[in-house]
């Protein structure tokens, strides 16, 4: 009780100071990081991962707001800082206590949540014409989705972690973040990126779906690609999970090569070597083993892209590229 009282007193005493500093995030950086207060709306995988990372970096989590009361209470208990006041779970209190609020709900909920939070705030009357800085974590959605909160004086933006977060324990250090929004919100987003040793990547609001599609191709579809490679191994009699395990060092090696050499230099393999007979044996084996036509079609498409990359790398000449492309499109000799 005493802790809660001291906390409320602290909130009241530092109120003006914190809102005065909102427009100048640098004034709360460096040693003053301890003073930055934040809250998370949508304590799922991304929200909890970010909250934990910011807490480890010295920011103070003051509130958690979710949809399902039981899951919200669980998340709050997990994130509850030791020896600090109980986390706030009401927007009316959160918006007063937090300098920065991260909206980590699913993309489809952002417009609704922004509207609901703004309605709550509006009913109570806005504070000094301002509210906390609000940043959502979606890569595909522009920050304009938060317009109802901006209308009430909140600076709004988006801070998208370019990382796959399969669970709330995922690390967010050293990654790239897609950033977009109001000048003041972007300044705060940059502050978060800096704090977590990351790299900020400014993204045009209109191009965000394209930016997000790139993330999906590189991350989600890599998982799909691994699954398809495992399917080929399964056709060769190697069980799926064993196949995935066997492929992992190869995949890590390929990623390390891209990191070390860049593209197109990192490309290796039969297409890169101009090895037509090997590509032909692949296609024959697909037919012999009854590999799914969709998988064969994808092999062919990606093979044609590999021809383009090999040509760019200079590892094959134009004639070899043409013969390989004809084989892969099915317009040339496949055997
Ligand atoms: N996971 C990733 O790999 C990843 C990576 C980069 C960016 N992001 C972005 O992060 C955001 C969240 O994704 P996620 O993967 O963390 O999703 P998630 O694990 O499904 O978590 C979403 C959270 O939002 C809550 N929520 C849903 N509707 C709500 C509402 N109306 N009000 C308050 N809370 C609500 C959910 O509560 P319930 O449990 O009650 O449903 C849950 O706690 C998305 O914008 C996503 O694009 C995710």
Question: Is the dihedral angle over the CA atoms 326, 329, 331, 335 positive or is it negative?
Answer: positive
Domain-ending residue, one of 172, 203, 234: 203
State the Cα–Cα distance between residues 218 and 302, nearest whole angstrom: 14
72 and 110 fall within a common domain: yes
- C-alpha to C-alpha distance for 65 and 48, rounded to whole angstroms: 11
Q: Whose CA is nearest to atom 29 of ligand 1?
A: 67
For the ranges 6-15, 83-92, 151-160, 250-259, the lowest mean pLDDT is seen at 6-15
The residue among 269 and 35 whose pLDDT is bigger is 269
Per-residue model confidence (pLDDT) at position 130:
67
pLDDT at 20 over 50: no
Q: In this structure, is residue 198 part of a structural domain?
A: yes
Claim to verify: residue 13 and residue 107 sit in the same structural domain: yes
Residue 277's pLDDT band, with cuts at 50, 70 and 90, is very high
Tell me if 164 CB under 6 Å of ligand 1: yes
Lowest mean pLDDT among 141-145, 165-169, 248-252: 165-169
- Cβ 158 under 6 angstroms from ligand 1: no
Query: Mean pLDDT of all residues in the chain?
Result: 89
Q: How many domains in the chain?
A: 2
Query: 138 CA to middle of ligand 1, Å?
Result: 9
**Cβ contact 128:151 at 8 Å:** no
Task: State the pLDDT confidence band at 266, using cuts at 50, 70 and 90.
Answer: very high
Same domain as 273, residue 127: no
Q: Range with the lowest mean pLDDT among 38-52, 114-128, 272-286, 320-334?
A: 114-128
* Shared domain check, 261 and 186: no
- Compute the distance from residue 44 Cα to the ligand 1 centre, in Å: 5
* Domain shared by 46 and 107, yes or no: yes
Query: Is 334 a domain residue?
Result: no
**Percentage of the chain lying above the pLDDT 90 cut:** 81
Tell me, in angstroms, the distance from the centre of ligand 1 to residue 236's CA. 39
Q: Measuring from atom 18 of ligand 1, which residue has the nearest CA?
A: 44
Same domain (yes/no): 196, 218: no
Beta carbon of 215 within 6 Å of any ligand 1 atom: no
Tell which wins on pLDDT, 141 or 5: 141
Q: Tell me the mean pLDDT in the region 128-144.
A: 89
Q: Is residue 16 part of a domain?
A: yes
Distance 137 CA to ligand 1 centre (A): 9
Q: What angle do CA 117, 119, 120 make, to 5 degrees?
A: 65
Residue nearest to atom 36 of ligand 1 (CA): 42
Domain closes at, from 162, 178, 203: 203
User: Tens digit of pLDDT for each residue in 286-317?
Assistant: 999 999 999 999 999 999 999 999 999 999 99
pLDDT at 75: 93
CA neighbor of 25 nearest in space, from 135, 166, 116: 135
For atom 21 of ligand 1, the residue with the nearest CA is: 44
Residue 129's pLDDT is 55
- pLDDT over threshold 90, residue 334: no
Summarize pLDDT for 77-135 with one digit per residue, the tens.
999 878 788 899 999 999 999 999 999 999 999 999 999 999 986 666 554 456 799 99
- Rounded to the nearest 5°, which phi and psi values hold at 201? -120, 105
Q: What pTM value is reported for the model?
A: 0.85
Domain final position from 171, 203, 235: 203
C-alpha 140/C-alpha 261 separation (Å) is 30
The H or E element spanning position 167 is none
Residues 244, 168: one domain? no
Residue 259 has pLDDT above 70, yes or no: yes
pLDDT tens-digit map of 23-51: 445 544 444 445 799 999 999 999 999 99
CA 323 to CA 334: how far, in whole Å? Answer: 10
Question: Do 257 and 277 sit in the same domain of this protein?
Answer: yes
Check whether residue 306 and residue 186 sit in a common domain: no
- pLDDT per residue as tens digits for the range 232-250: 999 999 999 999 999 999 9
Where in the sequence is the domain holding 170, given as residue range(s)?
2-203
Q: What is the pLDDT of residue 15?
A: 31
Q: Pick from 50, 104, 138 the residue to mutate for probing ligand 1's pocket: most ligand atoms within 8 Å of its CB.
A: 104
């Amino acid at each position: 009780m005493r802790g809660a009282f001291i906390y409320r007193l602290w909130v009241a005493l530092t109120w003006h100071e914190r809102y005065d500093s909102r427009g100048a995030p640098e004034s709360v950086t460096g040693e003053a990081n301890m003073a930055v207060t934040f809250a998370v709306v949508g304590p799922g995988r991304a929200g909890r991962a970010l909250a934990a990372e910011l807490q480890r970096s010295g920011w103070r989590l003051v509130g958690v707001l979710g949809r399902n009361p039981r899951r919200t209470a669980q998340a709050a208990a997990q994130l509850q800082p030791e020896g600090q006041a109980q986390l706030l779970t009401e927007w009316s209190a959160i918006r007063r206590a937090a300098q920065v609020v991260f909206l980590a709900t699913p993309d489809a909920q952002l417009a609704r949540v922004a509207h609901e939070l703004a309605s709550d705030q509006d009913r109570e009357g806005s504070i000094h014409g301002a509210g906390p800085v609000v940043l959502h974590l979606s890569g595909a959605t522009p920050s304009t989705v938060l317009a109802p909160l901006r209308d009430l004086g909140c600076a709004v933006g988006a801070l998208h972690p370019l990382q796959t977060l399969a669970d709330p324990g995922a690390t967010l250090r050293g990654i790239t973040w897609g950033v977009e929004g109001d000048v003041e919100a972007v300044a705060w987003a940059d502050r978060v990126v800096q704090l977590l040793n990351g790299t900020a990547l400014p993204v045009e609001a209109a191009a965000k779906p394209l930016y997000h599609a790139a993330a999906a191709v590189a991350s989600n579809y890599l998982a799909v690609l691994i699954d398809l490679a495992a399917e080929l191994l399964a056709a060769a009699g190697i069980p799926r999970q064993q196949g995935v395990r066997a492929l992992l060092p190869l995949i890590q090696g390929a990623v390390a090569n891209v990191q070390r050499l860049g593209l197109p230099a990192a490309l290796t393999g039969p297409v890169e070597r101009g090895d037509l007979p090997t590509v032909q044996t692949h296609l024959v084996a697909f037919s012999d083993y009854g590999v799914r036509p969709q998988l064969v079609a994808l092999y062919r498409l990606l093979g044609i892209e590999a021809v383009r990359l090999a040509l760019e790398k200079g590892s094959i000449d134009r004639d070899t590229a043409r013969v390989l492309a004809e084989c892969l499109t099915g317009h040339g000799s496949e055997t």
